[in-house]
Amino acid sequence: MRPLNRRAFSLIELVIVVIIIAVLAAIAIPRMSRGSAGAADSALSGDMAVWRNALDLYQTEHQGKYPTDNTTIVAQLTTYTDINGGTSATQDATHIYGPYMRSIPPLPVGGSGVSKGSATIGATSGAPAAVVAGGYGWVYDPAGNVYPNTGATMDSTGSKEYVNY
């Protein structure tokens, strides 16, 4: 009797390899998708810290007043200002404060009805319970609070993303 030369895998060996690959994929794919959601949540936390610092510094330098409203906040935070919040593209004898931000950060999160990537600002009277219409990325109230325009969207930890960090 001459031994047979085996040049191929048996069907059972192939099935075992496929099962092992499927188990590894079932473990790895959910972990990778949660990583991207966590990254967006971390980016939102970082952007909220930038907002908070810019608004606090503005308030400190402007006699305890925050930017006027959602139509003037961009200019008041990204250009030079005088003590009353008047803006100028260049620094001069009266426009000595700021700029506090280089630009408005785009909203890093999104979802149903949420304008992910938008750097526009809408008006609100407090923490919004629903998305503010108009395609805004951020909403601002004159009390000095900026919120991501996510309404009641939950982040990856199960808390609301619009909480003022």
User: Is pLDDT at 23 greater than 90 in this prediction?
Assistant: yes
3-state SS, the chain, equals: CCCCCCCCCCHHHHHHHHHHHHHHHHHHHHHHHHHHHHHHHHHHHHHHHHHHHHHHHHHHHCCCCCCCCCCCHHHHHHCEECCCCCEECCCCCCCCECCCCCCCCCCCCCECCECCCCCCEEECCCCCCCCCCCCCCEEEECCCEEEECCCCCECCCCCECCCCC
Asked whether the predicted pLDDT for residue 165 surpasses 50, the reply is: no
pLDDT band with cut points at 50, 70 and 90 for residue 28: confident
**pLDDT exceeds 50 at position 90:** yes
